[in-house]
């Protein structure tokens, strides 16, 4: 009799706490390596972790192959851009902007999902793939609204109430200053806090009635149906939640760049990257997705560019040789990593422990 099993799950699992805690230590490295500005670069990792968590709800928990998550990221980014940029009248500010972007993403998810989620497996993958291309082309061509390939800018950084900056802030004071590109630490912490909230929500979902319905639908749709679960509704909710999180990630991405950037920032590559984050990290596991984001995006956006710069500074890559810059080996490394993962650890770095959903 294993009645010792906890009745209510902890707020966050140990693994999740460890990863979030580890990320919270990143700004310390800024003092060790002042030239790198790691906490500014790690914002992207946090953004992609949120994107991965959104995709994980759809792919990992509901078992739907989604190849167009970047489209929802784009929708979120442009919603945030239109709602906050000063060239348009809305200017709702950072926090409402993020929330509204999430809502717009959820609505977009419902609109795409309602007519298409009855499709099986591969067909749904094709629909999402096509949707990704349509959104990108749509944004490119609606120039009056989205500024086409220019991107909407400038966009506001996060805003939090706090004391006004002193002229020469020390590290501690810096945490309480208005956010600009000069205060990357504080900016990073705000993103990290948002990630922590998303992790908390995702974990609650995992242990909720809806989460259980999603797992049941993934494991055996007919059996779930015979238990009076309506798979279409469950899938639609999962799809909308995934889209909402992707949109929030897009909004944070745009805010981080202070611009939506060009539509090509949200192309098929990004959808695949998100999928790799989920698969490499450990499909179905929240901790796994966090680890996946750190490994994949950390490698491509932090480690490799810095390595390239370091090599160039030291003179090795200064000839501009394409072979001497590790950045160019990004996809080679990704591909190799995927092949090795599939061979040696097909469940991902962090196994989603079978049946330990207590």
Partner 1 sequence: MSVPLISVERVTMRFGGLTAVKDVSVDVVPGSITAVIGPNGAGKTTLFNAITGVYEPTEGAVKVSGRDPRRQLSGAVIATSVAIGLATGLGLALLVRVETVWQAAVLDLYEFQKAFPWGTALKAFFATLFGGGFLGTWLPIVLGLALGTIGRLVIWSRTRRTPDVVASAGVARTFQNIRLFPELSLVENVVVGMDRRLTSGMLDGLLRLPHGVRERQASRAAALGILEFVGLADKAETAAGNLPYGHQRRLEIARALASKPDVILLDEPAAGMNPTETVDLMRLIKAIRDKGTTVVLIEHHMRVVMGISDRIAVLQYGEKIAEGTPEEIKNDPRCIEAYLGKEELG
C-beta of 126 vs 145, nearer to partner 1: 145
By the 8 A CB rule, do 318 and 312 touch? yes
- Per CB under 8 A, the list member of 57, 224, 289, 294 interacting with partner 1 is 224
d(CA 99, CA 39): 24
145: contact with partner 1 by CB under 8 A? yes
In the complex, least distance from residue 340 CB atom to partner 1, rounded to whole angstroms: 24
Distance CA 292, CA 31 (A): 26
Q: Does 239 sit near partner 1 (CB under 8 A)?
A: no
- In a 10 Å sphere around its CB, with 0-12 CB exposed, 13-18 middle and 19+ buried, how is residue 339 labelled? exposed
Per-residue x/- mask for partner 1, residues 174 to 213, rule CB under 8 A? ---------------------------x--xx-xxxxxxx
Q: Could you tell me if residue 261 is left (phi over 0), alpha (psi between -120 and 50 degrees) or otherwise beta? A: left
The nearer residue to partner 1, 93 or 162, going by C-beta atoms, is 93
| Closer residue to partner 1, CB minimum distance, 72 or 187 | 72
Where helices occur in the chain by DSSP H, the ranges are: 14-24, 26-32, 38-56, 69-84, 94-116, 121-141, 143-146, 171-174, 184-206, 209-219, 221-226, 231-257, 268-281, 286-297, 304-313, 330-344
Determine the interface stretch with partner 1 among 13-21, 34-42, 221-229, 301-309 (rule: CB under 8 A): 221-229
Q: Give me the least distance between CB of 63 and partner 1, in Å please.
A: 11
Name the one range near partner 1 by CB under 8 A: 38-46, 138-146, 312-320, 343-351. 138-146
- Is residue 283 near partner 1 by the rule CB under 8 A? no
Which spans of this chain sit near partner 1 (rule: CB under 8 A)? 1-3, 5, 7-8, 86-89, 111, 115, 118, 142, 144-145, 201, 204-205, 207-213, 215-216, 219-220, 222-232, 237, 354-358
């Amino acid at each position: 009799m294993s009645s010792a099993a906890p009745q209510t799950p902890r707020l966050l699992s140990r693994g999740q706490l460890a990863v979030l805690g580890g990320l919270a230590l990143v700004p310390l490295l800024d003092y060790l390596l002042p030239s790198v500005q790691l906490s500014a670069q790690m914002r992207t990792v946090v953004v992609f972790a949120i994107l991965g968590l959104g995709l994980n709800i759809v792919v990992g928990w509901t078992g739907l192959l989604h190849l167009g998550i970047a489209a929802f990221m784009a929708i979120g980014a442009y919603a945030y851009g239109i709602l906050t940029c000063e060239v348009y009248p809305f200017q709702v500010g950072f926090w409402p902007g993020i929330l509204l972007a999430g809502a717009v993403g959820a609505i977009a998810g419902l609109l795409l999902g309602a007519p298409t989620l009855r499709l099986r497996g591969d067909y749904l993958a094709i629909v999402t793939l096509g949707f990704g291309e349509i959104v990108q082309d749509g944004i490119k061509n609606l120039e009056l609204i989205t500024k086409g390939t220019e991107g909407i800018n400038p966009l506001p950084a996060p805003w939090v109430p706090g004391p006004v900056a002193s002229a020469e802030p020390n590290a501690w004071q810096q945490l309480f200053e208005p956010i600009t590109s000069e205060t990357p630490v504080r900016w990073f912490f705000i993103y990290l806090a948002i990630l922590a909230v998303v992790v908390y929500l995702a974990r609650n979902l995992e242990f909720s009635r809806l989460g259980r319905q999603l797992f049941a639908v993934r494991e055996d749709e007919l059996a779930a149906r015979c238990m009076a679960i309506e798979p279409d509704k469950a899938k639609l909710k999962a799809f909308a939640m995934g889209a909402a999180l992707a949109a929030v990630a897009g909004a944070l991405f745009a805010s981080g760049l202070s611009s939506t950037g060009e539509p090509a920032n949200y192309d098929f590559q990004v959808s695949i990257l998100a999928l790799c984050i989920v698969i490499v990290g450990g499909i179905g596991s929240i901790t796994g997705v966090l680890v996946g984001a750190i490994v994949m995006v950390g490698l491509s956006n932090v480690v490799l560019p810095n390595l390239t710069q370091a090599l160039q500074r030291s003179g090795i890559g200064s000839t501009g040789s394409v072979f001497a810059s590790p950045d160019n080996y990004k996809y080679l490394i990704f591909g190799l990593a995927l092949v090795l993962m599939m061979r040696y650890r097909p469940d991902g770095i962090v196994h989603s422990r079978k049946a330990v959903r207590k």
